[in-house]
Amino acid sequence: MNVLQILPELNSGGVERGTVDLAKFLREKGHKSVVVSAGGPLVGDLTSAGVLHYALPVHKKTPFAILRSVNTLAKIVKREHIDVLHARSRVPALVAYLVSRKTQVPFITTCHGFYSKHFLSALMGWGKLTIVASHVIGRRMRDDFGVPHNKIRLIHRGVNLNEFKRKEAGDPVGKKESVIGIVGRLTPIKGHPLFLKAMARVTRVLPPLKIQIIGDAPKPQYKEELKALVRRLGLSHAVEFLGTRYDIPELLSKMSVLVVPSTGEEAFGRVVIEAGACGVPVVATRIGGLVDIIQDEKDGLLVPPDDPKILADAVIRILKDPALADRLASSLRRKVEKEFNLDLMFQKTLEAYQEAVSRQKILVIKLSAVGDVILSIPSIRALKTKFPDAWISVLVGRKSRKIVRNCPYVDDAIVYEETPGKNRLLNILKTARLLAKENFDIVVDLQNNRTSHALSFLCGARTRAGQNNRKWSFLLNKKTTDASSAGVSPLEHQFKVLRLLGIGSFDKRLELWADEEEQAHVREFMASQWVAPSQVLVGINPGSSLRWPTKQWGVENFARLCDELAKRNIRVVVTGTPEDIPLTNELFRLTKHKPIHAVGRTSISELIALVRRCQVFVSSDSAPMHVAASVDVPLVAIFGPTDPKRHLVPPSRYQVFWKEVHCSPCYLRNCPIGLICMKKIGVQEVLDAVCHFVETARPAAQAPVPQSLV
């Protein structure tokens, strides 16, 4: 694997040392390792280990410098055949993101700080994966920057145990002069004023002391302010400002206590595990990622981030009690060996690289009615078969979300809220922004309209497959050559898109799932209606979409069918949505033998369990018809203005009633000639089909093809 890490500079610091260590590890394991930065003292360490380094001004924030870096980095990526880009800071992340879009190379980030809410900070969540060093940073990226949880990978920083070696127990604690140290850049977040105020108290209780401040200030004025504070506190005789040092292991090994007095959220606290590796006890503030490392009173001492007295007392306690110091240091050393060693960090990072390169993220778009979403299940199953390791998300309407909720081939369901009128464009842009954060590699557009094509393009996926329907299909980069659906089954229509992704064949079975809780609800409902487990039950769905009144067989026909079945000691359950209640109220008014009223009383998932309980199901061209087919219940389907060859995926036993008149299929939602096609379907022939399925056992022979009964 060819890996390129990019960061601002290679000066001394936790981020920089971690980058160098990882680059060397990759080189040793046979991978190509490339680092891009503006340079610094650690470049020599890289090049001496055989790691390639390119100097680019990726620390500069001006638009001109960023654009120039993008062009140069894109050439480097192509020249070195880079497989994955890894950004470790915000401006480099912007450069790497733009290069990723340009070269189609996966891009990941590592969040090394508790970033402020800013555009550049949000960039750290734009990668295919976002690595965080602590739980607090993971929550920050999720809650404040909207990074999806499934993109976040927790990888604690690691320390080289061969470099940071454990000192002998009791050394130097208990010696005449104790050394108390603080390591880190001189910035307000590191808590140097809190530390110095605490040290003023410690020196009065336990003289003599040597206090070492290791690190330098990005802003020299701040360092002068700290020196002035040292003078005011009377600590000039004890405090040493050592500046930037490259012998951190040696300095730590001579310390009696390391203090980490951070007053702002720390991303992790690498120096804590370095001290732990050296066997140095630690006192730290209870804030940020520090609590991921230290368990109070077990691995170190945690104190509030705003009380110098408590901090001083904790340091004094360790210096006065060598046994406590040794116990805390030993416990932290064991934890570092187990949880924070360098090899573990490297291995998890390498796994993240491999995931970014090999695990694809696929989005299936199907925004239409519930029935159409049911018909998309075989296509989703085919995608999972073709890409078994892929993360598959489905974008559906609110009413359809439960269809895919229990689907074993779907990892995530994203709900698209349809909004009419002027808000539609804003809604599309809002949804596109949400999808872009997921970094999809492939979009399979099974909806094939202007909205779905726009979302396919705006989400930023590299591969966008769909029908060439001339409805903004220019936004797709993989299109079918023939979008005609005349006489083609819905699955064959979808399969044209799947072929674009190399899927040669697929199983056309429909499937649906209901969980145990939903099945139990249906059993309780049946028991409340005095339906015995052995009793024959026929389901009837008399309604259809309110937008398709022409699909409805006459309500008086359904009422008569219910009564005829009741005469034969067959219980009938009527299903439907709350929208169907006015229609079904009329049906119940017309019946003499009242069927079971389940209209508006089941969710779509509960309907699956209810239909599975039926011996036969009768329905017009609607979602419940597809539910019956999915659970392989014998189906009597009633069609009028639509063509069953295009809309029905039948179960193993079924009968279709469709009267081919001179105008069929017309696909009209308002019939100008009085629904002749529906009126030609008689109650008796439907009744005979239902009774036939009830009375006969399931045959082993091949099911018949859809037919029209004239």
Contact 436, 458 (CB under 8 A): yes
Q: Please say if the pLDDT value at position 171 is more than 50.
A: no
708 or 437, which is more confident? 437
Q: Tell me the pLDDT tens digit for each residue of 58-113.
A: 999 999 999 999 999 999 999 999 999 999 999 999 999 999 988 989 999 999 88
Task: Answer with the one of 480, 499, 518 that is the final residue of a domain.
Answer: 499
- CA 470 to chain centroid: 32
pLDDT single digits (tens) 609-634: 999 999 999 999 999 999 999 999 99
Q: What percent of the chain has pLDDT over 90?
A: 67
Is residue 95 one of the residues assigned to a domain? yes
Residues 184 and 321 in one domain: yes
Looking at the DSSP bridge assignments, the partners of residue 710 are: none
195 and 304 belong to one structural domain: yes
CA distance 414 to 437: 13
Residues with Cβ within 8 Å of residue 635, at least 6 apart in sequence: 616, 617, 618, 619, 625, 628, 629, 650, 651, 653, 654, 655
pLDDT of residue 704: 40
- Among 121-130, 275-284, 497-506, top mean pLDDT goes to 275-284
The pLDDT of residue 169 is: 53
Q: Tell me the CB-side half-sphere exposure of residue 475, using CA atoms within 13 A.
A: 19
Distance of CA 287 to the CA centre of its chain: 27
- Per-residue model confidence (pLDDT) at position 703: 37
Q: What pLDDT is stored for residue 533 in this prediction? A: 85
Three-state DSSP at 636 gives strand
Place of tokens 């296509």: 379
Question: What is the C-alpha to C-alpha distance for residues 434 and 429, in angstroms, rounded to an integer?
Answer: 9
Same domain, yes or no: 601 and 681: yes
**pLDDT per residue as tens digits for the range 655-679:** 999 998 888 888 888 888 888 899 9
The pair of structure tokens assigned to 43 is 């470049």
Degrees, nearest 5: CA angle 526-527-529: 65
Please name every residue paired with 211 in a beta bridge, in sequence order, or none if there are none. Answer: 180, 239
Number of domains into which the chain is organized = 4
Is residue 348 assigned to a domain?
no
328 and 366 co-located in one domain: no
Helix 423-436, helix 450-458: angle, nearest 10: 40
Q: Please give the helix or strand (H or E) that residue 240 lies within, else none.
A: strand 239-243
> Phi/psi at 451 (nearest 5 deg)?
-65, -45
**pLDDT at residue 486, rounded to an integer:** 60
SS3 626: helix
266 phi, psi to nearest 5 deg: -90, 140
Q: Which of 536, 607, 608, 601 is nearest to 572 (CA)?
A: 536
**Does residue 269 come out as left (phi exceeding 0), alpha (psi in the -120 to 50 range) or beta?**
left
pLDDT at 121: 87
Q: Is the peptide bond before 172 cis (omega within 30 degrees of 0)?
A: yes
Whole-number average pLDDT of the chain: 90
Give the whole-angstrom CA distance, residue 636 versus residue 108. 53
| Res 576 pLDDT > 90 | yes
Q: How far apart are CA 154 and CA 267, in angstroms?
A: 12
Residue 137 has pLDDT above 70, yes or no: yes
| Token pair recorded at residue 281 | 């006890």
**DSSP assignment string, 179-245:** EEEEES-SSGGG-HHHHHHHHHHHHHHS-SEEEEEEB--SSHHHHHHHHHHHHHTT-TTTEEEEES-
| Residues of the domain holding 324 | 178-340
Q: Which residue has the tokens 């052995």?
A: 534
User: Is the domain of 249 the same as that of 116?
Assistant: no
Q: What mean pLDDT comes out for the span 682-706?
A: 72
- Do residues 19 and 138 both lie within one domain? yes
Q: Are residues 188 and 285 in the same domain?
A: yes
Give domain status of residue 34, yes or no.
yes
**Confidence check: pLDDT of 520 > 90:** yes
pLDDT digits (tens, 9 = 90+) for 320-338: 999 999 999 999 999 999 9
Task: Give the pair of three-digit tokens for residue 347.
Answer: 């291995």
Q: Which residue, 574, 556, 679, is CA-closest to 617? A: 574
Query: What's the pLDDT score for residue 289?
Result: 85
> What is the pLDDT confidence band of residue 482, given thresholds at 50, 70 and 90?
low
* pLDDT band, very low/low/confident/very high, at 424 (cuts 50, 70, 90): confident
Check residue 530 and give its pLDDT: 92
Position 632 scores a pLDDT of 93
In a domain, 277, yes or no: yes
Contact by Cβ (8 Å): 265, 287: yes
User: Is position 557 within any domain?
Assistant: yes
Instruction: Give the pLDDT score at 700.
Output: 35
- What is the model's pLDDT at position 98? 94
Higher pLDDT, 176 or 421: 421
The pTM of the whole model exceeds 0.95:
no
- Give the tens place of pLDDT for each residue, 225-255: 999 999 999 999 999 999 988 899 999 999 9
Q: Mean pLDDT check: name the lowest of 183-197, 288-302, 491-505, 685-699.
A: 685-699
Going by C-alpha positions, the residue among 261, 304, 262, 295 that lies closest to residue 276 is 295
d(C-alpha 220, C-alpha 666), whole Å: 80
Q: What is the phi-psi region of residue 39: left when phi exceeds 0, alpha when psi lies from -120 to 50, beta otherwise? A: left
Position 484 confidence tier, pLDDT thresholds 50, 70, 90: low
CATH number of the domain enclosing 429: 3.40.50.2000
494 in the same domain as 535: no
Beta strands in 447-495 (DSSP E): 463-466, 478-479
User: What is the pLDDT confidence band of residue 701, given thresholds at 50, 70 and 90?
Assistant: very low
pLDDT in tens, 454-463: 999 999 898 9
CA distance 473 to 467: 7
652-673 per-residue burial string, b: 16 or more CB within 10 A, e: under 16: bbbbbbbbebeebbbeeeebee
Determine, yes or no, domain membership for 701. Answer: no
Asked if residue 700 belongs to a domain, the reply is: no
Same domain, 550 and 643: yes
- Residues 581, 441 share a domain: no
686 and 537 in one domain? yes
Q: What is the pLDDT of residue 485?
A: 58
Per mean pLDDT, which range of 161-175, 265-279, 314-328, 569-583 is the poorest? 161-175
Q: Does the residue 169 lie in any domain?
A: no
Q: What is the mean pLDDT of residues 360-368?
A: 93
Token reading at 228? 């002035």
Whether 257 and 321 share a structural domain: yes
Tens of pLDDT, residue by residue over 385-412, are 999 999 999 999 988 888 888 899 999 9
Within a 13 Å sphere around the CA of 528, how many CA atoms are in the beta-carbon half? 9
What's the pLDDT at 483? 57
From the DSSP assignment, how many helices (H) and strands (E) are in the chain? 28, 25
State how beta strands 478-479 and 32-37 pair. Answer: unpaired
Query: What average pLDDT does this structure show over 29-55?
Result: 94
